[in-house]
Amino acid sequence: MKHRVIDLFAGVGGLSYGFAHDNDFEIVIANEYDPIIAKAYSLNHPSVDMIVGDIRNIQEKSLLDKIGNRKIDLIVGGPPCQSYSTLGKRLMDDRANLFFEYRRILKIVNPKAFIYENVSGLLSMDGGNLFPIIKQEFSKLGYIVKFKLLNAVEYGVPQYRERVILVGATMQNDFEYPEPTHGSGLFVLPEVAISDALGDLPKLKSGESSIEYSNEPLNDFQCFVRDSNLLTEHEAPTNNPHLIKIMEALPDGGTKRDLPIDLRPRSGYGNTYAKMWWNKPSPTITRNFATPSSSRCIHPRDSRALSTREGARLQSFPDSYLFYGSRSMKHLEIGNAVPPLLSIALTKQIKKIL
């Protein structure tokens, strides 16, 4: 008997990935507010019953009708993180309170366990007062709750990306968080660097594209993501000549302070117009990963903006994974996702308590 799963705030399906690729699980229902992102999810998970629209509009009767006589064992998901992000305004707005809707669905469905994911800023939101409230609300439903801050880079993702992972269970909560597989410890592998993640992709200049790989997979990460014979979404954005000069003048890991005065941008924060490090993991990927004026995201080898496929690689999405909509919408889908390799690690651990 498979463990049945519902994915709330599903996005493009990064958190679903591990469960969808484990024969002991079946994702039966997902919910996503944005119809374009919901379409992207369904392209990759066509068997899942997708509820498109605001979670606040999901009525108890219609949800129970969809579930039927099937028992749901697990609910996963994380509400929009913009309200909690340390890069945002951090307002206690409607989005900040969407955890109540997650709780409402939990109460209706009453699964054995749940996984609630969000950005690290959740811990300090509202002066540190919000997170205890969230834990308390879940505990009121009879769940034994535990949480930990995990960094995706420790699970083979070529990116520093901290996320709060809160796990609740109705039985004795024996859930154990996955041990790091990558890092500096004695029994783990080295962190996956950008060069490890992107080294088999052909060099591009601004505005160029390619549908062919430059070489065979060279490491375990490339073997994982190379599940397609055709390279897609590898097109470098077209930038103006002045920005191209700026990107080409930057050294590996350089910032605008390393630029000649005549090229140095006068606006932006310290990590804008900055180049990543070729032999280190990427900084946290956001929806603006192809916008050099927004964050440190300039390709360290090719001195250009990242392609869509490169952003997906840095999130550990396999090359066959599909995104939908305009380029900016695809980047939103990628930047907001849970890295699939982190999802796989969580899937293995939650299975042990189910």
Residues that are catalytic: 81
What is the SS3 assignment for 191-258? CCCHHHHHCCCCCCCCCCECCCCCCCCCCHHHHHHCCCCCCCCCECCCCCHHHHHHHHHCCCCCCHHH
- The label of the residue with tokens 């690689």 reads 313
CB 156 within 8 A of CB 181: yes
The pair of three-digit structure tokens given for residue 112, joined into one six-digit string = 């054995």
Among 338, 277, 292, 299, residue whose Cα is nearest residue 116: 338
* Residue 300 backbone class (left: φ over 0; alpha: ψ -120 to 50; beta: rest): alpha
Among 9, 25, 137, 20, residue whose Cα is nearest residue 72: 25
Q: CB-hemisphere CA count at 13 Å for 2?
A: 14
